[in-house]
Amino acid sequence: MSGNVFVWIEQSGGKANSASWEAVGLARRLAGELGGQVIALVFGQGVDSVAQAAFQYGADEVIKADDPSLAHYRFAPYVSLLAKLVQERNPAVVLAAASTSGREVLAGAAADVNAGLLTDVTELSLEGGKLRAVRPILGGKVLREEAIVGEGPQFATLRNRAFPAPQPDTSRSGTVTEAAPALSEDQIATKVERVEEAAGTISLTDATIIVAGGRGVGGPDGFGPVRDLADVLGGAVGASRAAVDAGWIPYEHQVGQTGKVVSPDLYIAAGISGAIQHQAGMRTARVIVAINKDADAPIFRLAQYGLVGDLFQILPALAEEFRKRLS
Amino acid sequence: MHVVVVTKSTPDTEATVTVEAGGNVNWGDKLVVNPWDEYAITEAVLLKGAHGGQATILTLGGEEQQEALKHGLAIGVDQAIRIWDPALQNHDSLGYAAAVAAAIRKLGDVDLVIFGKELSDIASDQHIFQVARRLGWNMIGFVSKIESLDAGAGTIRAQRLTERGTETVTSKLPAVISVVKDINEPKYPTFIGIRKAAKAEMPVWGLGDLGLDASAVSPRTQVAGHRELPKREGTVEMIEGSPQEQAARLVEKLLEEKIL
Ligand SMILES: Cc1cc2nc3c(=O)[nH]c(=O)nc-3n(C[C@H](O)[C@H](O)[C@H](O)COP(=O)(O)OP(=O)(O)OC[C@H]3O[C@@H](n4cnc5c(N)ncnc54)[C@H](O)[C@@H]3O)c2cc1C
Ligand SMILES: Nc1ncnc2c1ncn2[C@@H]1O[C@H](COP(=O)(O)O)[C@@H](O)[C@H]1O
């Protein structure tokens, strides 16, 4: 076994998921300890610029599979290719971001090569050559420590924004190794017919700033001031389940146990009481600001800053103030 | 058509969680059907209603899982099977996948396997994708809508929800899917359903029944312990004044702390 660390780089339409660079940053640290190299894996079509960026973020080698059959993410061809490359190159560690496709690809390939997998981890280290991870469980109320046992490649997926992103170094470059797909198009039963990107909006899990509204916004129009503040801050819009269930905003925006788990630098909760299931999705935010007219709302026990008052007055005042100070 | 839904009970989300001195975690013992699985079970019943055939609910675990099976039967699933064996005591996702895939094969004529998006307690979904791989079947994760299903032709068209938006995909059956909250409104048991479920026989399949030996489920990962989160409560700084004053002070603080 080599001491090499594989990182599967997630990309879509030639644009990498920034969480993949966080994984490359961690891979550098682990490869240093193992005396190996960081090998980035880029699958897709027309992905040269992603391969170049991988060097700049810290990869020593890039294995690139550029083929129409890989143009869009699909489970079978991606899993089969990753498993094949792991068998050929026998890395010590295989990492990826714990996005929907990162979770699928690593779990599938780990099954193919019978490797241990630690998912959605927020800390990762090596002890005697074995991965040891920490991850929040039970709605983020407790941290669980998990370890890999036995020999062979060790897999882990990393929670978005739990590991620092490295600074790109534009002078770095390296060798690109070309790889062929593991499956031909006629061996792939799944076809992607249509992709509708949520245009112009910032993905909640990538966002560094989130402004979220709950039942307190009172209706679909109540998300107006929430959205305005998010726009001023270049952030994303979140919501509680109560607001989603009421049909005021689509489910993609739901934060919490049955929605998305987010870790922004700043989370502004307006008209959200702070139920335990909502906390499960946002308690790891670096700074939480709560705006609520009820001074006893549980959200104030989690927040760093609390503003008691009417969100319809406070949100526009905040937007105004930020606009002044940030311009 | 034969649709299988796989479930597992999880601690109640309202439970108070404590970590014991030895690193074990304690949540009282109250279990609920994993909230995500409510959608999966409902979808299995809806598909059976729309396409005919039968629905089976499957779980892996001890006696504590019986309630979830009964819940499935009570809302319209036809049969319930529990997989359990002492050798599964410390199983990980690979051991889980080996056993569940073997049970699905033993059922024989399955067209579609449905999981809830993830286990709400450990927020993990790896076992789902590994079941698909152990079966060698197609996988469609994070499905928000089944647009069409044709068991005769062996095809499915579904929408899946990812971070980037919505994708429409087609695939061949048999397949494994995981479903998200958008897919339906969960059904709740009726009185008659509950009575029927109470009387149902629920076979337990051990590794022997599945044609597996203990080495097929030996774990590659283990839980090493638990610890409490660093406490955050009690640190709130209340910002008072008129809305304009509150806004000005908050922005000042966020800029001072370089949050922006
Ligand atoms: C299994 C399960 C899973 C769940 N998953 C999730 C999940 O993923 N995400 C989630 O969010 N919830 C989830 N919930 C629901 C959760 O328990 C709460 O019901 C929900 O979070 C409440 O939403 P809310 O805070 O918006 O509403 P409420 O609890 O009704 O709070 C509204 C708040 O707005 C304040 N308010 C009203 N008007 C104003 C105003 N003008 N200005 C300022 N403040 C105002 C009120 O004082 C109140 O505190 C789940 C529940 C269960 C059982
Ligand atoms: N009884 C179970 N039902 C479903 N999945 C399970 C079960 N037990 C474990 N898993 C999966 O196995 C992985 C490892 O579990 P654990 O051994 O508890 O750490 C989890 O992340 C789940 O994906």
Give residue limits of the domains in chain A: 5-187, 209-326
Tell me the CA–centroid distance for residue B146 and ligand 1, in Å: 29
**Domain residue extents for chain B:** 2-217
Interface contact flag, A304 B236, Cβ < 8 Å: yes
Q: What is the pLDDT of residue B24?
A: 86
- CATH class, domain A209-326, is alpha beta
Query: What CATH number does the domain located at A5-187 have?
Result: 3.40.50.620
Ligand 2 mutation pick, B119, B125, B129, max ligand atoms within 8 A of CB: B119
> Does residue A321 have a pLDDT over 70?
yes
Give tens-digit pLDDT for A137-147. 988 888 999 99
Q: What is the pLDDT of residue B5?
A: 98
Comparing CA positions, the residue from B131, B110, B120 lying closest to residue B47 is B110
Instruction: Report in angstroms the alpha-carbon separations of B174 from A154, A166, A189, A272, B94.
Output: 30, 43, 11, 43, 21
- Which of A136-150, A195-209, B196-210: highest mean pLDDT? B196-210
**Rounded Cα–Cα distance for residues B70 and A316 (Å):** 51
Q: What is the mean pLDDT of residues B4-21?
A: 89
> Does residue B259 have a pLDDT over 90?
no
Q: What is the mean pLDDT of residues A66-81?
A: 98
Choose from B12, B91, B162 for mutation: most chain A CBs within 10 A.
Answer: B162
* CB of A225 sitting under 6 A from ligand 1: no
Tell me the CA–centroid distance for residue B242 and ligand 2, in Å: 51
Instruction: Give chain B's mean pLDDT.
Output: 94
Q: What is the mean pLDDT of residues A296-315?
A: 96
Which tokens sit at B152? 């005769």
> Does residue B30 have a pLDDT over 70?
yes
> Does residue A104 have a pLDDT over 90?
yes
Mean pLDDT is lowest, of A32-36, A231-235, A249-253, B256-260, for B256-260
> Does residue A95 have a pLDDT over 70?
yes
Q: What is the pLDDT of residue B26?
A: 85
The ligand with the least distance to the CA atom of A111 is 2
Q: What is the pLDDT of residue B244?
A: 97
Which member of A111, A118, A141 has the closest CB to residue B134?
Answer: A111
Give tens-digit pLDDT for B202-240. 999 999 999 999 999 999 999 999 988 777 656 899 999
Q: What is the pLDDT of residue A138?
A: 87
Query: What CATH number does the domain located at B2-217 have?
Result: 3.40.50.620
Ligand 2 mutation pick, B59, B66, B69, B96, max ligand atoms within 8 A of CB: B96
Instruction: Give chain A's mean pLDDT.
Output: 95
Q: How confident is the model at residue A326 (pLDDT cuts 50, 70, 90)?
A: confident
Q: What is the pLDDT of residue A200?
A: 61
* Contacts of B209 by beta carbon, 8 Å cutoff, 6+ apart: B106
Q: What is the pLDDT of residue B232?
A: 64
Q: What percent of chain B has pLDDT over 90?
A: 83
ipTM of the complex: 0.87
- Asked whether this chain's domains A5-187 and A209-326 adopt the same fold, the reply is yes
Give tens-digit pLDDT for B137-186. 999 999 999 999 999 999 999 999 988 889 999 999 999 999 999 899 99
